[in-house]
Structure formats: structure tokens, C-alpha cells
A and B are shown apart, each in its own frame.
Chain A
Amino acid sequence: MIEIKDIYKSFSGNEVLKGISGKFEEGVTNLIIGGSGSGKTTLLKCMVGLHQPDSGSVLYDGRDFTPMTYEQRIDVRKEIGMLFQGSALFDSMTVEENIMFPLNMFTDQSRKEKIERVNFCLERVNLAGKNKLFPAELSGGMKKRVGIARAISMNPKYLFCDEPNSGLDPKTSIVIDELIKELTEEYKTTTIVVTHDMNSVMGIGDYILFLHEGKKFWEGSNKEIAHTDIKELNDFVFASRFMKAAKDKF
């Protein structure tokens, strides 16, 4: 479980996060949603340590991550897997080398064991046999799936996904969403997905935290999200004509 307590973060006097708190349980898909500039990605970066919050704390199963030294953080980071918005695959390495990279760095497994693990991860994301391709030879959806395979290669306890559907067609987006949900339930990871994609929200949002202008406005599940009277949330959820029509119909 990951718990965040009263997170504040500002850049050059501009306050981006204003006291965000929340609890993200394991085995369920936790979503952080909000419009552009609402502070979702900044919150995610504060949680994984890419940004240092001005105040507040991030607890990984009770371990306070924020005051930790660089060396102490390494132990927590080995338990983290992350899928980046642009996949962030190492473009000088093949798919196999990308997935094997954390195994090479942190395990003493034999090459055979590592290859087996790579093949298992690739099969898990339906990319078996693509070991020798370079990232430049992959489509956007395939890159995301390789990113997921790399993120799960070390059996992470915590999985972070930053806009996993950005730049993908609706069908591929659903495949990625379902994959994230399956992996979360199968490995009981604490999964946090930052998104503004309403299909993801309705499809996999077991727990949703809605941010608006750096503040937490609402939290709940995808079953509750369409039935609130919070204007900011309704403006976000029903921004598209399709969602508006669906609301009017039902």
C-alpha cells in the first residue's frame, strides 16, 4: 500500500500541489485523474522521488520515502516498476536488452535464467518473439507493452503508469488498460495510473483520485464517479459529447 500525506510542491513560487493526501491499496487499480496542468504528473513524480515535495510524506507500506537518503531510496526503488508516457525505452538496446537491463544490474541470475524471465515478460504482454527488435522498429502500442514488460521484469511491488494511453488508438488503449489491470490483480501490486482518458477511468478505475488546480477534489470508484454533484468533476467527466449523451440517456 502507498499512502501520501499532505503533499505540497511548488516551482519558482507557483504552487502546483496543495496538500494532497490519499491511500492506494494493493491489488486494485488506482487512478489519479484531472485535466492538463492539474498536477497529476507532478504528484506521481513526487511519489517516485523524481521530485522532492516541499512538505508532506510518501509512505511505501509504512516506510517514509521522502526523508530517505539516496542509498536508502535504492532499496525502495528496486521494488518499483514504472511505465512512462513515452515508454522511455533505451533506444540503443534491443527489446530483450531493455527488459534484461534491471536484471543485469540487480540480480546474479545466469544468462539462461534472465532470458527465460525476458521471454516470460514478453509472453505476458503478448510480444513473444520480438526480443531482437529495436525500439525504433516498434509501434506506439508495442513500445508501451515493452515498457510494461520492463517494469514487471523485477516483480515490482509498486507499479506506476504515467498516461499509459497517450498517443494510442482506442482499441490499443483498452488492451493496455486490461493488461495493467490483469497484472495488478495477478501479482497484487499497488498500481497507480495517471490518466485523463475517460475510457480508462470507466474501465479500470477501482479507486480514483480527482485533482483540480493542485487540490484533491474527489475520491471514489468508477461506479460512483458519474453520480456526484461536484461541478469540477462533472465538467471533467462529461466534457466529451459522447459522455454527455451517455449521461442524458441513462
Chain B
Amino acid sequence: MNFTNFGRYILLLKSVFRKPEKLKIYLKEIAKQMDYVGVGSLGLIAIISTFIGAVMTLQIAFQLVSDFIPKTIIGSVNRDSSILELSPTISAIVLAGKIGSAISSEIGSMRVTEQIDALEIMGINAPGYLILPKIISGITMVPMLVIISMFLSITGGYIGGSVSGAVTPAEYIQGITTDFNPYTITVALVKAFVFGFIITSVPAYEGFYVRGGALEVSQASTRAVVISCISILACDYIVTQLLL
């Protein structure tokens, strides 16, 4: 995003947060988006998180070849990695692909078929009506998905360790319950909140300013996912630096 685009993005956000015309309709739209972003992504996040947790356990066990290191460390490392990095970041990148492209295509199609113009003519704040419910669903549902992802990733690690024999269930549970710092959850939720905002607002911006036809809509969709992923990684670094 160059400076012109960044400026337009900020101006669009200013329009998004204008007072809604009718709260009831916005609430209905928010509920619809929450269902799509949250419930609609649950299966995907569950599968990815469980497998990542299982693979993490195997890889940590593979790297811990020394007899001087207790096996309980596998559980601790898996827990902290899942909570601090893998669950928020991997979930956000996956969601940027799934939700981000859908948001960009939806709004972009509405732009090229004059549906956004129709909203404006009616006197409706198009950015507010189209984007605000998506942003609110992003900043509420992504943290919830991340919490589920953390749980499933740690559970996946337990299953992976037990099935492969890399670590016994008792050692793994001892590992995940030892020296737990609840602050890591706070860091993860801050990340999830920021990522939720990015994966809804950036694609919405890309879709809202599409000019042209079907080709431009698909290009905007691709650009939305790429920019969202880069922004997620950059913000991941910034939040980690600030909070840890």
C-alpha cells in the first residue's frame, strides 16, 4: 500500500464509523457476518489447529535428542508456541485467504454492478452498511476462533504425542500445566483483535475502490489477500515487540 492508498484507507475507515442510519438493520447484518466469519470458519480452523499441534509435538520431540532435557518440555513449548504465535498468526493467515477474498469479491462485485451507487443514492452510508458489520464480526469472532484454535492445537499435540509415542500423555499434561503464564493469552488476544481488523478492513478497502469488471474484481481479491497477509506478519512483529 503506498501513501495515497493508505490515506484513502484511513478516509474510508472514517466513513465506516459514521453513525448508522438504523441500528436494528446493522445489528442484523452484524449477526449475519458473525455467523459467516465465526461459525463458517470453525471447521477449517479446527482441522488446521489440530494438525499443527500434532505436527509441532513430533517436531519438538525430534529436536530434543538430549537425555538431559525432560520430555515435559515438549508440552510447554507446544503450549507457548500455539498460544503466542501459531494459533493467532496461522489462523489469521488462513482466514485472510478465506474471508478476505470473499469480502473483497463481494464488495467489488457490488461496486462494478452499481449496487454501491444505488446505496449512496438512497442516502445510505455505503461504507458503514457494507464494511462496519464485517469489521465488528472480524474483531469479535477472530479472537474467539483463536481461543478455540489454541485449545485444539494443544489437544492436537497431546493426540500426536500419544499416538506416535514421542511423549507420554502424563509427561505432556505435566508440560502444559507447568509454569503457565496467563499473560500469553492476553498477547494472543491482542494479536487476534488486530488481525481480525486487518482481514476484514483491508479486503473491504480493496473491493470498495475497484474500477472495471470481473478481471479487476479478481485482481483486487488477490491483492487483498496478499496485503492482508503481509500486514498480519508486520503487525505480529510490532505487537510482539510491544507486549513481550
Residues of chain A whose beta carbon lies under 8 Å from any beta carbon of chain B = 48-50, 70, 73-75, 77-78, 80, 82, 84-86, 88-91, 101-102, 104-106, 154, 160
Contact = CB atoms under 8 A, between A and B. Distances in A.
A104 to B, nearest CB: 6
B121 A48 contact: yes
B212 to A, nearest CB: 14
Contacts of A49: 120-121
A90 B114 CA distance: 10
B182 interface: no
Contacts of B110: 90
A105 B28 CA distance: 12
Nearest to A78: B123
B113 A86 contact: yes
Interface residues of B, number: 16
Residue of B113, B120, B122, B124 contacting most chain A CB atoms (<10 Å) = B122
Contact of A88 (B18, B21, B117, B123): B117
Nearest 4 A-B pairs (CB), nearest first?
A77-B123, A88-B114, A88-B118, A74-B123
B114 A105 contact: no
A154 B123 CA distance: 12
A136 B117 CA distance: 19
A106 B22 CA distance: 8
A74 B18 CA distance: 13
Contact of A105 (B21, B113, B117, B121): B21
Given A101-B122, A105-B25, 14 more contacts: A50-B120, A50-B121, A74-B123, A77-B122, A86-B114, A88-B114, A88-B115, A90-B110, A90-B115, A91-B113, A102-B122, A105-B21, A106-B123, A154-B122
B128 to A, nearest CB: 11
Interface in B79-93: none
A105 B122 contact: yes
